[in-house]
Amino acid sequence: MLARTSQFARSIHLSVLRAPATTAALGRRFESSLAAPKAADGSDEEVFVTHLQGADQGVAVLSMNRPAAKNALSKKLLADIRATVDRLRSDSSVRVLILRSHVPGAFCAGADLKERATMPAHEVSDFVHGIRSLFNDIENLPFPTIASLDGAAFGGGLEMALACDFRTAGAGARLALSETKLAIIPGAGGTQRLPRLVGMHMAKKMIFTASPVNASTAESIGLVTEAGEQAYPLALNLARQILPQGPIAIQAAKVAISKGAGTDLATGLAIEQACYHRVIPTKDRLEGLQAFREKRAPVYKGE
């Protein structure tokens, strides 16, 4: 059904952008296989995936479930997230991915400081490199990603959300890059992705003061796409708005926007042209035209 979509994204990255492999070797040190959840709700796993059905088919939900540490990023949790992301990347049934927490009141508390305190300096550097590599992989997934932020997202937790295409925030959300409290800086993309979203002035304020912002403030400064009472219904509603669109076109648009944004206009237009060229021969494009003529909803298959 959707096998062509992942092939499309790979071909754009390789033939047009010549992007390097998104997963660095250092990040692979923390990789492990992920077993299927032992319970229907994934309660025995720190990371589990739910594939929604019915009208929501095509939406996958990645849930983090480390309640004792509020989803703090340990070696094991990161390895499980990495293994899951690697598996989802090649899953042709996925059209939209939602990242959320299975732990009430917390999206992700950031680094596991107890574990971090046991690491020698060289291991800390390699470990942070691995986190950065993983978040780059999330950013470069071929389908749209939405971070559903109910509760606290601090440090690396917010950096994970920043790597997603969209963020929704519930009323209890508290978002912060608080690393300067520990005499370090955000090291998994926060100093680069945050100012691209909220501007340099606001990013400096958040990082220099280490102060959290609430959901309404996050929405007003552009840190989150939408804020409301609960984040997950907002994320699911956004996913439902994306689902009817052509999946190959969505992938092409994501590449054109994301990769073109960091270039000059001429280069960005060349990337856009290359992405457009890729959608011309697709069956989905013809289906869209035919559905328009017949005044019916199109049925896109990712071909």
Is 156 annotated as catalytic? yes
114 has pLDDT over 90: no
DSSP string for the chain: --HHHHHHHHHIIIIII-PPPSS-TGGGGG----PPPSSTT-TT-SEEEEE--GGGTTEEEEEE--GGGTT-B-HHHHHHHHHHHHHHHT-TT-SEEEEEESSTTEEE--B-HHHHTTS-HHHHHHHHHHHHHHHHHHHT-SS-EEEEE-SEEETHHHHHHHTSSEEEE-TT-EEE--GGGGT----SSHHHHHHHHH-HHHHHHHHHH---EEHHHHHHTTSSSEE-S-HHHHHHHHHHHHTTS-HHHHHHHHHHHHHHTTS-HHHHHHHHHHHHHHHTT-HHHHHHHHHHHHTS-------
Fold exhibited by the domain 47-243: 2-enoyl-CoA Hydratase; Chain A, domain 1 (3.90.226)
How far, in Å, CA of 38 to CA of 29, rounded? 25
As a whole number, mean pLDDT of residues 291-300 equals 92
Q: What is the pLDDT of residue 26?
A: 33
Q: What is the pLDDT of residue 180?
A: 95
pLDDT band at 190 (very low <50, low <70, confident <90, very high): very high
Is 179 annotated as catalytic? yes
As a whole number, mean pLDDT of residues 7-28 equals 43
pLDDT band at 11 (very low <50, low <70, confident <90, very high): low
Q: What is the pLDDT of residue 24?
A: 35
Write out pLDDT tens, residues 209-229.
999 999 999 999 999 999 999
Q: What is the pLDDT of residue 203?
A: 97
The overall average pLDDT reported for the chain is: 87
Write out pLDDT tens, residues 31-43.
333 333 444 444 5
80 has pLDDT over 50: yes
How far, in Å, CA of 207 to CA of 37, rounded? 37
User: Could you give the residue range(s) of every CATH 3.90.226.10 domain in the chain?
Assistant: 47-243
How far, in Å, CA of 130 to CA of 74, rounded? 12
Q: What is the pLDDT of residue 262?
A: 86
pLDDT band at 96 (very low <50, low <70, confident <90, very high): very high
The percent of residues in the chain predicted with pLDDT above 70, rounded, is 86
As a whole number, mean pLDDT of residues 133-161 equals 96
As a whole number, mean pLDDT of residues 132-147 equals 96
Reported pTM = 0.84
Write out pLDDT tens, residues 173-189.
999 999 999 999 999 99
17 has pLDDT over 60: no
Catalytic residue among 156, 170, 246, 288: 156
Q: For residues 141 and 85, is the Cβ–Cβ distance under 8 A?
A: yes
**CA-derived radius of gyration, the chain:** 19
CB neighbour class for 159 (10 Å; exposed up to 12, middle 13-18, buried from 19):
buried
**Could you say which of 3.40.710.10, 1.10.12.10, 3.30.420.10, 3.40.50.300 is the CATH number of the domain covering 247-294?**
1.10.12.10
User: Could you give the residue range(s) of every CATH 1.10.12.10 domain in the chain?
Assistant: 247-294
The CA angle 26-46-59, to the nearest 5 degrees, is 90
Catalytic residue among 60, 72, 151, 159: 159
Q: Could you tell me the two tokens for 244?
A: 């009817």
49 has pLDDT over 80: yes
Is 187 annotated as catalytic? no
Catalytic residue among 9, 106, 111, 153: 111
Q: What is the pLDDT of residue 39?
A: 41
pLDDT band at 16 (very low <50, low <70, confident <90, very high): very low
Is 111 annotated as catalytic? yes
Q: What is the pLDDT of residue 264?
A: 94
**10-24, 200-214, 232-246: which range is least confident on average?**
10-24
pLDDT band at 120 (very low <50, low <70, confident <90, very high): confident
